[in-house]
Amino acid sequence: MLLSGTFVNEIPRVAFFPDSYLEVNGAAMTCRRLVEYARRNGYPYLCVHAGPDPGLTVDGSVSHLQLKRSPISFKLDEELAYDPLFQRHTNMVLRQLVEFKPDVVHITGLNDVSIVGSYLAWKLDIPILGSWHTNIHEFAASRIVRSLRFLPSGFVNSLAGFAERKIMQGSILYYKMPKVILSPNQELVDELGRRTKRVSRLMGRGVDTDVFSPAKRTVNDGIIRLGFVGRLRAEKNVRLLIDIEKALIESGRTNIKMLIVGEGNEREYLEQNLKNPEFTGFISGDDLAEAYANIDIFLFPSETDAFGNVTQEAHASGVPAIVSDKGGPKFIVREGETGFVAKTLEDYITYASMLYDNPDKLAEMKRLSRESAMSNSWDSIFEGVYDGYREAISLHKGSAKPEANA
């Protein structure tokens, strides 16, 4: 039974089980912003997440239950991990849920933390809302291709395709548990709605236009800076930056610099092969905002991002973006106005060359990029999440029928 008697027009009590929270990535940043939104508005919120300092802490209306992973946890990425023994925390989490009395449980993916949350939601008959943050199936396939590039390509591609299909099938089964699913782009909204037969809604991403602003620019030396911000990992397809730079230089467009923000195991390869790079390493706050503003053309060749927060941060900084036609960033860019969507290496080169050659066009796209970002506030995004909570509760109580995808 439901532990609380909240009506759908009231502020629901939420138990949140994010797969990524303390890590440095876009999904974790979004989760932290959602929790901060609840705290700032005084909404009752219990956030259960993995971390190194186990225990319960309270910050206003928000309670944090941090649970430590076991020594046998294995890494999914430099920071992300999975603990096969995480279920040992089930009884502790159960006690907190019974005391907190949530109206809805929010899960974010097929991972050790959310598995505990979804099991207890089922056990206690609490409705579930699920939000999709990471294209883990594409992430895994990309990692296989990059890691096994020394093997015959046909075998590697077949293995990667098999892994991608199986992981997606498992994710679809898992996402049949929620009453409502939130996804960061319309492509996923449609696919998850069709394959899970659940209510499927759009949950975009906001951007802080005070933090990220063209006013933070500190360079004015006439050099065209092409920039990338993110983890320097295989799944981000960062080696394509080398090919883009090489083609621009060979075509006589030599007044360029590659500004690379981030860390990862591809950094050494980039350092060895880029001709005129500037590496900042991992930076945040004012340093990150300044780096964005100093970029003229943002390059984001990742094919696995479900959304791509960095693209919106670039736009807020007045920087047009050239992004891949695979993944979520293509839904952020307005073609020919705030950037371009590239299908091939040649597309990246063509669009970057055009902006290099046409300073008036570049200036206009910088202005339009900033204008586009100004309409995307985090508060409006999270108001939509709370609408999703209410809809999940309503559907669970049987007071409404699932609607068509929106």
pLDDT tens string 176-220: 999 999 998 888 899 999 999 999 999 988 899 999 999 999 999
H-state helical runs in 175-275 = 186-196, 240-250, 267-273
Using alpha carbons, select from 168, 199, 167, 197 the residue that is nearest to residue 183. Answer: 199
Categorize the per-residue pLDDT at 354 as very low, low, confident or very high, splitting at 50, 70 and 90: very high
At residue 141, the pLDDT reads 62
What are the sequence ranges of the domains in the chain?
14-132+175-206+378-397, 214-373
Categorize the per-residue pLDDT at 308 as very low, low, confident or very high, splitting at 50, 70 and 90: confident
Q: In this model, does residue 160 exceed pLDDT 80?
A: no
Cα(26)–Cα(306) distance, integer angstroms: 10
Cα(311)–Cα(333) distance, integer angstroms: 8
CATH superfamily of 214-373: Glycogen Phosphorylase B; (3.40.50.2000)
Question: What letters, b where the CB count within 10 A reaches 16 and e where it falls short, cover 385-398?
Answer: bbebbbbbbbbbee
Q: In this model, does residue 3 exceed pLDDT 60?
A: no
pLDDT tens string 204-216: 888 999 999 999 9
Domains 14-132+175-206+378-397 and 214-373 share a fold: yes
What are the CA-CA distances from residue 238 to residues 85, 107, 225 (Å)?
34, 30, 16
Categorize the per-residue pLDDT at 284 as very low, low, confident or very high, splitting at 50, 70 and 90: very high
At residue 137, the pLDDT reads 57
Give me 306's structure tokens: 């479900």
14-132+175-206+378-397 maps to CATH 3.40.920.10:
no
Categorize the per-residue pLDDT at 327 as very low, low, confident or very high, splitting at 50, 70 and 90: confident
At residue 78, the pLDDT reads 62
Which residues share a beta bridge with 180? 129, 199
Which residues share a beta bridge with 323? 300, 341
Categorize the per-residue pLDDT at 79 as very low, low, confident or very high, splitting at 50, 70 and 90: low
Hey, how many other C-beta atoms are within 10 angstroms of the C-beta on 164?
Answer: 19
Q: In this model, does residue 401 exceed pLDDT 80?
A: no
At residue 400, the pLDDT reads 44
Categorize the per-residue pLDDT at 57 as very low, low, confident or very high, splitting at 50, 70 and 90: very high
Give me 9's structure tokens: 């027009």
The DSSP code sequence of 313-349 is HHHHTT--EEEESSSSGGGT--BTTTEEEESSHHHHH
Q: Please report, rounded to a whole number, the percentage of residues in the chain having pLDDT higher than 70.
A: 92
Q: In this model, does residue 322 exceed pLDDT 90?
A: yes
Q: In this model, does residue 7 exceed pLDDT 80?
A: no
At residue 9, the pLDDT reads 57
Query: Can you give the pTM of this predicted structure?
Result: 0.76
Average pLDDT over residues 48-70: 96
Contact 189, 201 (CB under 8 A): yes
Contacts of 92 (CB under 8 A, 6+ apart): 65, 67
Q: In this model, does residue 404 exceed pLDDT 80?
A: no
